[in-house]
Amino acid sequence: MINTENYRPLFSHITDNCTYLNHAAISPLSQNVIEKIQQYLHNRSVKSIDNFEKMEEHFIQTKQKLARLLGTDTERIAFVDNTSNGLNILANGLQWKSGDRVLLNSMEFPSNVYPFLNLKRHGVEVDFIEPDNHTIPLEKIITAVTPQTRVISISHVQYLNGFLTDLEALGSFCRENGIILSVDVIQSAGAVPIDVDTMKIDFLASGSHKWLMAPEGIGFVYVTEELQNKIQQAYVGWTSVSNFFERMRDFKLELDPTARRYENGVLNSAGIIGLGASLDTLLDAGIENIHEHILDLTDYLIALLDERGIEYITPGDRTERSGIVSFKPADTGALIGIMNARKVHTAVRGDCVRVSPHFYNTEEEIDKLLVCVDECMHEAKT
């Protein structure tokens, strides 16, 4: 169980009477994150100005926390700047041949589409699965696989409606059939338990500014050692090699044996500091606890929408849902205007209002959203 009162004081927007329910877009920064970044900036400006080597300890510590989050080892993790560039490591590193195919679905966020569409110059074809009632059933994925399918890339959680992919089942299928499973976890990391071994994930990419509640411009990838050995790295830099500080003059391109080889140069130190601080809070609360709390909030919201006869495109089954509920108001523009006036923050995606509460949010904040919905429905009748 989450005691929200232990964590709500960390978020300053609450004191401004702001109800923030838009974590699937971008999260507020906690006081812990702000303080750690401010401390870093002070040291960088006044004390340890030349801190490049000293920062390595912070990088390792943050990777250790990510390893706990993902159920893996630090050697399998590399920092990147965003999800798209993370996925490009895979897309541009495999040795493709004409006729190879990649399997996606039409609900995906573009980050998980364009890196693979860009492979058409190599003769690679991209197949798209169409959803069934806003879900992507495993049976439909299996049916769409061909002998030429080399990669299935999918979001753990779909950004439009929060549909949660059964990665254990999909990962087992992919492993049994020699298909690479690539997963975008930007809508699940920090909100949904992830275990890369149990889920048999070969490659994973994410940014950190959504459910992980860290600054923009810092993300990470996970890659199995087996898959890493099949990737011919398209881009390298001076820190991609082993012992790069000791070998600045020998120019021997001997890539680091760990996933650190994908870190091609100077990293976003402030972002990594912020990510580490946010992970401290999330891991303290416990990802399993966070997941259950978020599901309880979305259960509560769905029940209130059902009472009002409001259509939603998010699965009702908890096993197929994460932290996103998308519903269709009668007048989206009017509802957003009412919410803005009451400092209730959500997002508009297509013809839906997308609500995404996190671990510190409460049922009372969901009630504030429904007050806006009720006002909008009342105005529509008058």
Please give the CATH number for the structural domain made up of 33-283: 3.40.640.10
Residue 127, amino acid: D
Please determine, for residue 355, whether its predicted confidence score (pLDDT) is greater than 90.
yes
For the four alpha carbons of 279, 280, 283 and 284, in that order, the dihedral sign comes to: negative
Q: What is the mean pLDDT of residues 326-346?
A: 95
Token readout for 299 is: 């259960």
Choose the weakest-confidence range: 138-142, 352-356, 375-379. Answer: 375-379
Please check whether residue 170 is in contact with residue 181, taking contact to mean a CB–CB distance below 8 angstroms.
yes
Residue 311, amino acid: E
Euclidean distance between CA atoms 161 and 107, whole angstroms: 9
pLDDT digit string, tens, across residues 188-239? 999 999 999 999 999 999 999 999 999 999 999 999 999 999 999 999 999 9
> Domain boundaries in the chain?
4-24+286-381, 33-283
Mean pLDDT computed over every residue of the chain: 96
Alpha helices in the chain, H assignment, sequence order: 31-45, 55-70, 83-91, 114-117, 138-144, 167-176, 225-228, 269-285, 287-307, 332-341, 363-381
User: Which pLDDT score is estimated for 238?
Assistant: 92
What is the distance of C-alpha 7 from the center of its chain?
21
Please determine, for residue 48, whether its predicted confidence score (pLDDT) is greater than 90.
no
Euclidean distance between CA atoms 137 and 165, whole angstroms: 8
List residues bridging with 207 in a β-sheet.
219
Place of tokens 């994925």: 141
Cα R_g (the chain), whole angstroms: 22
Token readout for 266 is: 């100077």
Euclidean distance between CA atoms 334 and 340, whole angstroms: 10
Q: If pLDDT is split at 50, 70 and 90, which confidence band does 310 have?
A: very high
User: Which pLDDT score is estimated for 247?
Assistant: 79
Same fold for the pair 4-24+286-381 and 33-283: no
User: Which pLDDT score is estimated for 246?
Assistant: 81
Euclidean distance between CA atoms 66 and 220, whole angstroms: 9
List residues bridging with 180 in a β-sheet.
151
CATH tag for 4-24+286-381 (out of 3.40.50.1370, 3.90.950.20, 3.90.1150.10, 3.40.50.720): 3.90.1150.10
Residue 335, amino acid: L
Please check whether residue 147 is in contact with residue 127, taking contact to mean a CB–CB distance below 8 angstroms.
no
Where does residue 50 rank: exposed (0-12), middle (13-18), buried (19+ CB within 10 A)?
exposed
Residue 367, amino acid: D
Euclidean distance between CA atoms 19 and 368, whole angstroms: 8
Please determine, for residue 51, whether its predicted confidence score (pLDDT) is greater than 80.
no
* Percentage, residues of the chain above pLDDT 70: 100
Closest C-alpha among 87, 219, 245 to residue 153? 87
Please check whether residue 347 is in contact with residue 354, taking contact to mean a CB–CB distance below 8 angstroms.
yes
Euclidean distance between CA atoms 237 and 257, whole angstroms: 15
User: Which pLDDT score is estimated for 219?
Assistant: 98
- The predicted model scores a pTM of 0.95
What is 183-200 written as a DSSP string? Answer: EE-TTTTTTS---TTTTT
User: For residue 21, what are the CA distances in angstroms to 13, 129, 159, 363?
Assistant: 12, 30, 14, 11
Burial pattern 85-100, b for ≥16 Cβ within 10 A else e, equals bbbbbbbbbbebeeeb
Token readout for 182 is: 């690539």
Phi-psi label, residue 362: left if phi above 0, alpha if psi -120 to 50, beta otherwise:
beta
Euclidean distance between CA atoms 23 and 154, whole angstroms: 20
Q: What is the mean pLDDT of residues 239-262?
A: 91
Q: What is the mean pLDDT of residues 363-372?
A: 97
